Amino acid sequence: MKTRILLDCDTGIDDALTLLYLAPLVRSGEIDLVAIGTVHGNVAPETGALNTLRVLERAGVHDVPVAVGAGRPMAQPVEFADEWHGTDGLGDIGLPEPAARPADVSAPEQIVRLARANPGELTLLAVGPLTNLGIALLLEPRLPRLFREVVVMGGAFDHHGNITGHAEANVWHDPEAAELVFAAGWPLTLVPLDVTHPTALDGAWLDRLAAGEGEVARFASRILEFYVTAYHRSLGVRGAVIHDALAAMLAVDPSLGEYTERPVRVELRGDRTRGATLWDRRRYADDGDRPAVRVAVRADAAAFQERLLSSLL
């Protein structure tokens, strides 16, 4: 069955690279990008929607509805990631307005409508905070039975967090929504920092991209400059982790990863641990009727890097 993707994102630079990875698969007919919703996270959802349309236009993908979603988390103030993505979410390179406009429906409503209309057919790929998914679950309690699969980029287990010492960004931005999503009982694959960080792009990869002559390669290299600078400022190395693209690649080709299944919870109360994702490794642990989540624990880093580069070139 062709993979039919409903994408939920917060389009900053790594989301843009993810869209550019998916675009050739959409144009070739290998996958069907049914719709996209945006959420607060890297930028405000309105900005994310316009960025999504800008990227799709540059990638030659048209007529994909893009809906604006939740502008804040369920239970905490909203925060954005200007220092990593720029105030416009795409490295402050001054892109013009897109020709298309966002759809006249909210992203959570779009999730519910499409799930009801296509029961068992869609893969919900979520690479931003999970507020839209949480709202959709509250709107339609049957939602977990209506999706073929849900793939989420989020969480950290044996890897340190990237917002706090324990919490990964997408979960930290809305822990209550993440807890709803992880407890919902749908077929869910979680792609945490443990598996995205080993796929980091290095300077040699960035040089190969910069040598590309196509419009998409030049655009990708241009927006990556801001992101790579932020990584260098933070970690002292020239490189970047494109977390979201790995989640997308595993949604399209799960064979690139290795997985384990365990119930996953989100810490909601700790002063220093709020937003942390937790699992119990003990074989005799009793998590009651908590549903298991399939968690990616390894991925083929070389294949990921080559496929991403190929899609951009």
The yes-or-no answer on residue 243 being catalytic is: yes
Residue 312: enclosing H or E segment and its boundaries? Answer: helix 301-312
Nearest to 206 by CA among 107, 115, 133, 313: 313
Both tokens of residue 306? 């080559």
Both tokens of residue 239? 């490189």
Three-class SS state of 281: coil
Both tokens of residue 104? 């006249």
Q: Show the CA angle centred on residue 39, arms to residues 240 and 307, nearest 5°.
A: 35
- Catalytic residue, chosen from 10, 14, 88, 194, is 10
Give CA–CA dist 240/132, Å, rounded. Answer: 27
The yes-or-no answer on residue 159 being catalytic is: no
Helices 215-235 and 301-312 cross at an angle (nearest 10°) of 140
Other C-beta atoms lying within 10 Å of the C-beta of residue 128: 33
Three-class SS state of 284: coil
Burial of 285 (0-12, 13-18, 19+ CB in 10 A): exposed
Task: Determine the distance from the C-alpha atom of residue 262 to the mean position of all C-alpha atoms in its chain, rounded to a whole number.
Answer: 21
Give CA–CA dist 23/197, Å, rounded. Answer: 23
- Catalytic residue, chosen from 40, 85, 243, 244, is 243
Catalytic site positions: 10, 243
